[in-house]
Copies of this chain bind each other. A is one copy, B any other.
Amino acid sequence: MTSSIEFVEKLRKSGLRPTKQRIEICKVLFNSEKTFHFTINDLVKMIEDKNNKKISLATVYNTIHAFEKKGYLKEIAINSSQTYFDTNTSDHHHFFDEKEKELIDLENKDVDPIKIKKNISGKKIRSVEVLVRIDTDNQ
Contacts and interface: CB of A to CB of B under 8 A. Distances in A.
Report which residue of A76, A97, A106, A124 has the largest number of chain B beta carbons within 10 angstroms of its beta carbon. A124
A83 interface: yes
B122 A118 contact: no
Interface in A83-137: 83, 95, 97-98, 104, 106-107, 109-118, 120, 122-137
A77 interface: yes
B120 A126 contact: no
Contacts of A134: 120, 123-126
Interface of A is mostly: strand
A75 interface: yes
A115 B112 contact: yes
Interface of A: 75-79, 83, 95, 97-98, 104, 106-107, 109-118, 120, 122-137
Given A77-B77, A127-B131, A128-B133, 11 more contacts: A76-B79, A77-B78, A77-B79, A111-B114, A111-B117, A114-B114, A122-B136, A125-B132, A128-B132, A130-B130, A131-B131
